[in-house]
């Protein structure tokens, strides 16, 4: 999972120059681009000015995200989620949309046609989210995440001297009580789902954990009035967090009665804005269910190989029943589950897996490996409870800073049985896959490549579909290249990991559209996709807390697979894998359908 946050940055846009072109003969053997109409320089200039205006306006409306993207002019500000603040955002987006409507996009360069469609999707999505979805009225997660991000974004990376960041943190800590007041004013407990209220109530104290981790140990770097203001802000925040906890525990949680299912109408609209894909909900369902069947059949074939001549192996006929297929795959997976780290060795195992994957990618020359630093960290407490791991890349303007491969530790209060269940899921081979997906050659590598694209607009509106799809794509890429010496159990675990991607897409629709029960969801995950109880239980919580995000993995990887097949078909024996990967990553992570259109010189639609 890549940690993605809406963000913008102010930078002169190089939208008409230095853009990647369609596959050229010199790079990969394809004919040069030549069918696109000659772009209108004046139209490109008008679009560049509009893009600049949107970026600048978004910075002022979203200062926490501005910090995360690497523009630090608003580091002492906090987002305004009051009714007046929301209306300001609506007015701004409607004005931008009207100007987009007035443009003739066909006169833009191909790259700007892509950016114009990305910007339109973002603006329309922001308007829809505020006016129709209205998550500000029923989802407390946005407020908690904003409060935590306000501090974490300032303190986690050394983009400026510590005293400067502490002063900005002082200003933001002073404003967080007002954010809590907006949260209490905006939220309607009758619309808030119980699971959302309970999750935020558990996360609330994590805000003070950030203060204790990042701010208190460094407070001595401020002196005089600056130090006094910091101490006063911390004391005020501690009081505000305690008051907020009381409200969460005594008012919000007991009175939360909303339905976590958003329903078919809202789901379809949100899916459209979230994915920006050509695939409909029905097409996603049909394709994912067919892929689930195919992958299980492939896993059965591997199971027959690794279990051959093993004492006590289950029956494995050529045409198995459903029960025989299930038993064989489960027995084969047990061989992988037996190889797992101790509960206190997960992070060390991830570090080794990252190092091994990096060496392999370089040796096989699969893709250009960047020099940008990457570091494995424990997931901050305020972000735990949704995903086991994520990749957190620096903002596109924060050059040379660490990418974080964050892992949620096994909770101290877990029993041995809970810990064992977790480590069966995150066995040694699964940790190798996690390092591939989150870091090398997955999210970390992709993020470093994408940050080099010259369009700041595309950088800050990078597609989660592209990023998650690429990460899943690299899992298969590494297996196909022979990682871990072609170990069949690694291939089996990779297919199980891929089943999780497939199940995510099925689960999300099942929960939010088809009103699935917990039992239905758990059967899909534990039986059909072979997940451990603890992993499936966590995903059930995540499916309730989020919507239209879980399908990004499956839809993204399907579009990456489709793009590669199309390019291979066009280039034939001139296809070069590394050149292809570098080309795909050179476009700055737009929705994958645009990558295909750019690479194959197709109309931008």
Mean pLDDT check: name the lowest of 90-99, 141-150, 456-465, 510-519.
456-465
pLDDT (0 to 100) of residue 173: 98
Cα separation values, 575 from 392, 524, 568, Å:
32, 38, 6
Q: For residue 418, is it within any domain? A: yes
- Whether pLDDT at 34 is above 60: no
397: in domain: yes
Distances (CA, A) of 52 to 13, 160, 173: 7, 25, 30
93 shares its domain with 223: no
Within a domain: 583: yes
* 492 and 520, same domain (yes or no): yes
Residue 533: its pLDDT value, please? 86
344 and 484 co-located in one domain: yes
Taking residues 298-326, report their average pLDDT: 97
DSSP-derived pairing of the beta strands 374-378 and 389-392:
unpaired
Asked if 160 and 187 sit in the same domain, the reply is yes
Q: CB count, 10 Å around CB of 65?
A: 23
Q: Are residues 368 and 426 in the same domain?
A: yes
Is there a single domain that holds both residue 461 and residue 580?
yes
pLDDT, tens only, 159-176: 999 999 999 999 999 999
- Number of domains into which the chain is organized: 3
At 374, phi and psi to the nearest 5?
-135, 140
pLDDT at 304: 98
Residue 558 lies in a domain: yes
| Residue 605 falls inside a structural domain | no
Given 196, 231, 260, which residue is the final one in a domain? 260
What are the beta bridge partners of residue 405? Answer: 376, 391
Residue 280, domain member (yes or no): no
Same domain, 41 and 90: yes
Q: Is residue 183 part of a domain?
A: yes
Q: What is the mean pLDDT of residues 377-393?
A: 72
Distance of CA 535 to the CA centre of its chain: 18
Last residue of a domain, one of 70, 105, 133: 133
Domain assignment of residue 101, given as a range: 35-133
Q: Which residues contact 151 (CB under 8 A, 6 or more apart)?
A: 169, 172, 173, 207, 210, 211, 214, 215
120 and 166 share a domain? no
Residue 446 pLDDT > 90: yes
pTM of the model: 0.89
Read off the pLDDT of residues 411-426 as tens digits, 9 standing for 90 and up. 788 888 888 888 888 8
State the CB neighbour count (10 A cutoff) for residue 430: 25
Residue 166's H or E segment, with its range, is helix 162-186
Q: Does residue 316 sit within a domain?
A: no
Please tell me whether residues 557 and 586 are part of one structural domain.
yes
Q: Which residue shows structure tokens 């607009």?
A: 457
Same domain membership, residue 147 and residue 123 = no
Q: Which of 226, 242, 260 lies at the terminal end of a domain, its last residue?
A: 260
Same domain, 213 and 358: no
pLDDT at 252: 98
pLDDT tens string 129-160:
999 999 999 999 999 999 999 999 999 889 99
CB 558 within 8 A of CB 551: no
Same domain? For 403 and 543 the reply is yes
Of residues 378, 377, 383, 381, the one with CA closest to residue 146: 383
Instruction: Grade residue 8 by pLDDT with cuts at 50, 70 and 90.
Output: very low
């Amino acid at each position: 999972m890549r940690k993605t946050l809406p963000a913008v940055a102010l930078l002169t846009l190089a939208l008409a120059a230095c853009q990647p072109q369609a596959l050229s003969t010199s790079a990969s053997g394809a004919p040069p681009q030549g069918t696109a109409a000659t772009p209108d320089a004046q139209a490109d200039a008008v679009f560049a000015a509009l893009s600049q205006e949107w970026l600048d306006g978004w910075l002022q409306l979203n200062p926490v995200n501005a910090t995360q993207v690497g523009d630090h002019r608003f580091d002492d500000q906090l987002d305004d989620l009051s009714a007046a603040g929301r209306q300001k955002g609506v007015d701004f987006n409607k004005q931008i949309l009207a100007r987009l409507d007035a443009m003739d996009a066909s006169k833009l360069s191909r790259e700007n046609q892509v950016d114009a469609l990305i910007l339109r999707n973002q603006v329309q999505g922001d308007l829809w989210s505020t006016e129709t979805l209205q998550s500000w009225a029923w989802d407390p997660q946005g407020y908690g995440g904003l409060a935590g991000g306000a501090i974490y974004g300032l303190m986690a990376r050394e983009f400026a001297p510590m005293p400067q960041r502490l002063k900005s943190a002082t200003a933001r800590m002073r404003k967080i009580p007002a954010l809590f007041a907006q949260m209490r004013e905006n939220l309607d407990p009758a619309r808030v789902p119980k699971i959302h209220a309970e999750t935020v109530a558990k996360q609330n104290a994590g805000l003070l954990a950030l203060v204790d981790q990042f701010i208190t140990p460094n407070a001595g770097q401020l002196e005089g009035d600056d130090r006094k203001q910091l101490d006063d802000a911390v004391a005020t925040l501690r009081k505000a967090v305690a008051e907020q906890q009381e409200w969460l525990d005594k008012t919000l949680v007991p009175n939360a009665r909303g339905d976590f299912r958003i329903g078919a109408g809202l789901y379809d609209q949100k899916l459209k804005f979230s994915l920006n894909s050509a695939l409909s909900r029905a097409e996603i369902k049909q394709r994912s269910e067919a892929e689930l069947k195919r992958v299980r059949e492939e896993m059965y074939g591997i199971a027959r190989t690794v279990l051959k001549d093993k004492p006590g192996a289950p029956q494995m006929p050529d045409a198995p029943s459903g029960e025989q297929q299930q038993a064989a795959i489960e027995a084969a997976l047990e061989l992988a589950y037996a190889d797992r780290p101790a509960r206190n060795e997960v992070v060390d195992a991830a570090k080794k897996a990252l190092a091994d994957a990096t060496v392999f990618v370089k040796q096989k020359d699969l893709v250009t490996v960047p020099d940008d630093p990457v570091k494995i960290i424990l997931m901050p407490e305020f972000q735990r409870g949704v995903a086991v791991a994520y990749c957190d890349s620096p903002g596109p303007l924060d050059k040379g800073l660490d990418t974080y491969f964050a892992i949620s530790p096994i909770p101290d209060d877990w029993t041995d049985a809970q810990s064992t269940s977790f480590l069966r899921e995150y066995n040694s081979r699964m940790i190798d896959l996690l390092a591939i997906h989150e870091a090398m050659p997955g999210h970390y590598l992709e993020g470093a490549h994408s940050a080099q694209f010259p369009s700041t607009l595309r950088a800050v509106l990078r597609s989660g579909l592209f990023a998650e799809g690429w990460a899943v794509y690299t899992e298969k890429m590494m297996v196909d290249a022979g990682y871990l010496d072609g170990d069949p159990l690694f291939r089996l675990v990779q297919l199980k990991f891929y089943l999780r991607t497939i199940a995510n897409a099925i689960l999300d629709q099942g929960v939010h559209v088809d009103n699935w029960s917990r039992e239905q969801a758990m059967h899909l995950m534990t039986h059909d996709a072979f997940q451990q109880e603890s992993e499936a239980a966590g995903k059930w919580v995540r499916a309730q807390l989020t919507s239209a995000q879980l399908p990004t993995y499956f839809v993204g990887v399907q579009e990456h697979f489709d793009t590669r097949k199309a390019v291979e078909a066009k280039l034939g024996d001139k296809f070069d894998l590394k050149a292809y990967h570098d080309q795909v990553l050179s476009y700055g992570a737009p929705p994958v359908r645009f990558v295909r259109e750019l690479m194959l010189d197709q109309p931008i639609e």
